[in-house]
Structure 1
Amino acid sequence: MKEDFLRRPRTVAEYGADAIRVIGVLSVLVAAIWSTPTDAGILALATPALMLPRALGMRGGADLAVGVTVLVAAASNVFDLYRSVPGWDLVVHFVCTGAIAATGYLVLARLRIVPAQDSPEFRRRIPVVLCTILGLAVSAVWEMIEWAGRTFVTDEIFVTYEDTIGDMALGGLGALAAGVLVAFVRLERVRGAVKL
């Protein structure tokens, strides 16, 4: 993982993914100085999710897609898009949960808990089932964090029963879609590629 994290970018997508990481870190600093601690905290929570795809050695396009998705999800909270744009919350839950579930599958493959995409033991049904489960679990944890934030930190966080169920349902569907993607599209870059 260290080698993947420290390697130089080679493609336009890899440079773009690194630019998103820089924007993510800078946005935490900007929010800490000129916005509220809640906004800075939300953006800081996104930072590990911006770094993980690089450490996993994701292909440039997948890395960029995860980074943009996570940053948009965090920024949408800061700019109050979840309340001001009808349905935006559901779109972001679908896409972001899917991105997190696919990344989660790669983490489990790196830990040798599940077969990697290039392994002879890999079966397409495995990521379809596992990503869906991961997505539903992540959705449940996220909704608990929202509840705790509203209960113990600030009542500015919007939480209702209908919102929670809708978010989890769309997150589960996004994770299912991500599982299908992992089943058919290689997300990690090929190891041992020629260095330029």
Structure 2
Amino acid sequence: MIRTLLRAPQGAGEVAADALRVLAAISIVVAGIGWGPLSGLSFVLVTGAMFLPRLLGVRPSFDIVFGVASLAAAWSSVLDIYITVRWWDLPIHFLTNGIWAALAYLLLVRFGIVADAATLPRPAVSAALMTTALGLSLGVLWEMFEWFGHNFIDGEIYVGYTDSIGDLLIGGVGALLAGCSMRYLAARPGVAHDREPSPVVE
């Protein structure tokens, strides 16, 4: 995976994804100077997370969507768009929960923590269920973070029962959609994926 991370980008898609990572790094400085250290720190975390798709060698299209969604979510928070446009967090939760759940699933599979759905009797169903479960779990963690932020960091962070349930619901739908698309998302460029899994030697 380190070799994948360090190699030069190949094709326009990978160049675009790397450009988004550069934009995220620039955002650390811009947000830190313009909106304070906490805003800068949020982009440090986003920038680090945006290297995960490259580390895993996912499709450039997935990498680009991950980068765009992560940057949009972070800048929406810094610019208080979630407060001024109350419905805006719904499409953001739908998109980010889906792609983060898909990435979490790929990470867990790559490190051998969960089974690769392709090796199971019902691969499509298994991937969809696992990704949805991960998406809902990530959604709960995010709502806990928002509660913590509201109570201990910034009281302007909006929290509420209806808002939390709506966010979890729409995020779960996004994760389900990502799980149903996992056959495409899990495929690595230039690698055949229709072969049967190698038999297990007893």
The CA deviation at 1:190 is 3.5
The CA deviation at 1:38 is 2.8
State the TM-score, normalizing by the size of structure 2. 0.87
Question: Paired residue for 1:29?
Answer: 29
| Matching residue's letter, 2:178 | A
Secondary structure at the aligned position of 2:25 is classed as: helix
1:111-147 C-alpha deviation (Å, 9 max, x unpaired): 1233447x54471112100000000000000111111
Question: Contact (CA 8 Å) 2:62, 2:185: kept in 1 or not?
Answer: no
Distance 2:83 2:162 in 1: 14
Q: Which runs of 5+ in 2 are unaligned?
A: 193-202
Question: Aligned pair 1:48/2:30, yes or no?
Answer: no
Question: Contact (CA 8 Å) 1:136, 1:168: kept in 2 or not?
Answer: yes
**Which residues of 2 match residues 24-173 of structure 1 at below 5 A?**
24-116=24-116, 119-121=118-120, 123-173=123-173
Question: Contact (CA 8 Å) 1:128, 1:183: kept in 2 or not?
Answer: no
Secondary structure at the aligned position of 2:188 is classed as: coil
The CA deviation at 1:40 is 1.6
Secondary structure at the aligned position of 1:87 is classed as: helix
Query: Identity over aligned residues, as a percent?
Result: 39
1:72-129 C-alpha deviation (Å, 9 max, x unpaired): 1111111222122242100000000000011011101111233447x54471112100
Question: Contact (CA 8 Å) 1:97, 1:174: kept in 2 or not?
Answer: yes
**Which residues of 2 match residues 7-18 of structure 1 at below 5 A?**
7-18=7-18
Question: Contact (CA 8 Å) 1:62, 1:187: kept in 2 or not?
Answer: no
Higher mean alpha-carbon deviation, 74-83 vs 19-28, is at: 74-83
Distance 2:150 2:44 in 1: 18
Distance 2:50 2:81 in 1: 21
Query: How many matched pairs?
Result: 191
Question: Contact (CA 8 Å) 2:106, 2:186: kept in 1 or not?
Answer: no
Secondary structure at the aligned position of 1:124 is classed as: helix
Secondary structure at the aligned position of 2:114 is classed as: coil
Distance 1:149 1:81 in 2: 16
| Matching residue's letter, 1:89 | D
| Matching residue's letter, 2:147 | W
Question: Contact (CA 8 Å) 1:125, 1:183: kept in 2 or not?
Answer: no
Distance 1:54 1:23 in 2: 15
Structure 1 or 2, whichever has the larger Rg, is: 2
Distance 1:142 1:20 in 2: 23
Question: Paired residue for 2:6?
Answer: 6
The CA deviation at 1:7 is 1.1
| Matching residue's letter, 1:2 | I
State the TM-score, normalizing by the size of structure 1. 0.90
1:160-194 C-alpha deviation (Å, 9 max, x unpaired): 111111111111111000000104554433459xx
Secondary structure at the aligned position of 1:22 is classed as: helix
